[in-house]
Amino acid sequence: MTKLSLKERMLIGRHPMGAQAPDDRIQNFAEVNLGYSAQIAVEEAQRCLECKDAPCSQSCPVNVKIPQFITRIVAGDNLGAVDTILEDNLLPAICGRVCPQENLCESQCVLGKKGKPVAIGNLERYAADTTLDLRSKREELVKAEPSGKKVALIGSGPASLACAGDLARMGHDVTVYEALHAFGGVLIYGIPEFRLPKSIVSYEINSLKRVGVKFEKNIIIGKTLTINELMKEQGVDAIFIGAGAGLPNFLGIPGEELIGIYSANELLTRVNLMKAYQAESVTPVLDFHGKTIAVFGGGNTAMDSARTALRLGAAKVYIIYRRTADEMPARREEVIHAEEEGIEFVFLAAPLEFSGDEKGWLKSVRLQCMELGEPDAGGRRRPVPIEGSEYSLDIDMAVIAIGNGANPLLRDSPGLKFTKRYTLEVNPETLETTSKGIFAGGDIVTGGATVISAMGAGRKAAQSIDHYLNSLQ
């Protein structure tokens, strides 16, 4: 293919990804986005200016070689493209779908200064999706000679998956222990099928199995097995804790105990992991049909909960957020998709109290209007209540999606030190905890963050663990 001049590349507009029509997709749980065709992918890839200093790669937490993989797509070499990504990111089909690219790689794309950035996430997804068959027919990663060292990983979210992949590649004997009955952490129990198909997560877990990573489910470290037992009885030489932030926060307002109020975690877990969306499912989930639902929060979890409620038959879904659209932490695409699906956003409003009927069922929420004040420590403008602005909204159900705290199950483990927010204390250079040979990364250290940052931490910890294991005789 003849190479386009700089000017020609800059004349090509960004290609949107095809999606199921809003009216259709709210009737099903199938993936909303449909992916690029080969022709569209190559046209989009041709927009890349191949910047030498690659600001896009620099702003990726795992420094994927973005211009290099995009160049392979232009050449029609999708396997070469995915192999380039895999050098830095083990989960391209997942990250292509869920990374907040607008805040990371795409935010630094030079084309974005005057127009729209290259659709890097869409191209990553294209390279990954079109090579799934080819990849499954070959040895996924080059494995070193067995080191004779055993590593246990606690939790099977992206932090542990990335860590396990690297450690296996280094030749260590790696076992991932998961409390739930399915592997993938939030990727499987939190993010809905319509955004990240379970088959994609299973594919990546199977890729790790093929390079020798062992997976044990239904084992709660700290309960079923303690860290001490792992070390002493199972002969484990090092541990990685990737236990995530799965403890839901609540509003702490009167009436929160009424029937019909869910934490987002409970709703999404029932629907995702226990398949409550399937007609033949026996998983108990309250009946959403024809109901009015209020979801509280402005992050990905709020968007996922609202869109799930809609697909479960809700007649009306509100997202109620105490700041404005500009401060919402959710991925932009999810906000746009939620709006297209008919979800109504109520900004600058905070809940004061829930009210119910004599049988304890939720009936309404009293809201207070807010205005934005000075920025808080995180730089976002603080919501300030407007006196006398309270009003009541009739609702049948509510979902609380205001963030999660660190998983609490390991809090009693001797030697580990936790912060006031119950996240784990680690050495920022090595990710080693206060206990020798025990490392940690992902949401259990940072609090709720992103898939790619958890993976970056997992990879960093793998380097430190390898170094530690090599130092043992």
Applying CB under 6 A, the residues found at the interface with ligand FAD are 98-100, 154-160, 177-180, 185-186, 190-191, 220-222, 242-244, 246, 268, 300-301, 304, 331, 407, 409-410, 442-444, 448-452, 454
Q: In angstroms, what is the minimal distance from the CB of 349 to ligand FAD?
A: 22
CA 93, 97, 100, 104 dihedral sign is: positive
Q: Which is nearer to ligand FAD, 222 or 383 (CB)?
A: 222
Q: Whose structure tokens read 């992916």?
A: 35
Q: Which is nearer to ligand FAD, 69 or 215 (CB)?
A: 215
Q: Which is nearer to ligand FAD, 255 or 448 (CB)?
A: 448
Q: In angstroms, what is the minimal distance from the CB of 285 to ligand FAD?
A: 16
Q: Which is nearer to ligand FAD, 349 or 454 (CB)?
A: 454
CA atoms of 161 and 455, how far apart (whole Å): 8
The answer to whether the beta carbons of residues 407 and 216 sit under 8 Å apart is: no
Q: In angstroms, what is the minimal distance from the CB of 305 to ligand FAD?
A: 7
Q: Which two tokens stand for residue 383?
A: 């919501």
Q: Which is nearer to ligand FAD, 98 or 123 (CB)?
A: 98
Q: In angstroms, what is the minimal distance from the CB of 169 to ligand FAD?
A: 18
Q: In angstroms, what is the minimal distance from the CB of 302 to ligand FAD?
A: 9
CA distances from 166 to 88, 93, 135, 264, 300 (A): 10, 18, 17, 32, 28
Q: Which is nearer to ligand FAD, 407 or 435 (CB)?
A: 407
Residue 248 bridge partners (DSSP): 404
DSSP helix, strand, coil percent of the chain (3-state; round to 5): 35, 20, 45
Q: In angstroms, what is the minimal distance from the CB of 404 to ligand FAD?
A: 6
Q: In angstroms, what is the minimal distance from the CB of 445 to ligand FAD?
A: 8
**396-424 burial: b if 16+ Cβ within 10 Å, else e:** bbbbbbbbbbbbebbeebeebebeeebbb
Q: In angstroms, what is the minimal distance from the CB of 209 to ligand FAD?
A: 17
Helices (H), 274-314: 300-311
Q: Which is nearer to ligand FAD, 164 or 370 (CB)?
A: 164
Residue 33 bridge partners (DSSP): 19
CA atoms of 109 and 47, how far apart (whole Å): 11
Q: Which is nearer to ligand FAD, 201 or 258 (CB)?
A: 201
Q: 3-state class of 394 per DSSP? A: strand
Helices (H), 256-357: 264-272, 300-311, 332-340
Residue type, 111: L
Q: In angstroms, what is the minimal distance from the CB of 95 to ligand FAD?
A: 8
Q: In angstroms, what is the minimal distance from the CB of 177 to ligand FAD?
A: 5
Q: Which is nearer to ligand FAD, 355 or 463 (CB)?
A: 463
**96-109 burial: b if 16+ Cβ within 10 Å, else e:** bbbbbbeebbbebb
Neighbours of 452 (CB within 10 A): 24
Q: 3-state class of 16 per DSSP? A: coil
Q: Which is nearer to ligand FAD, 212 or 248 (CB)?
A: 248
The answer to whether the beta carbons of residues 348 and 371 sit under 8 Å apart is: yes
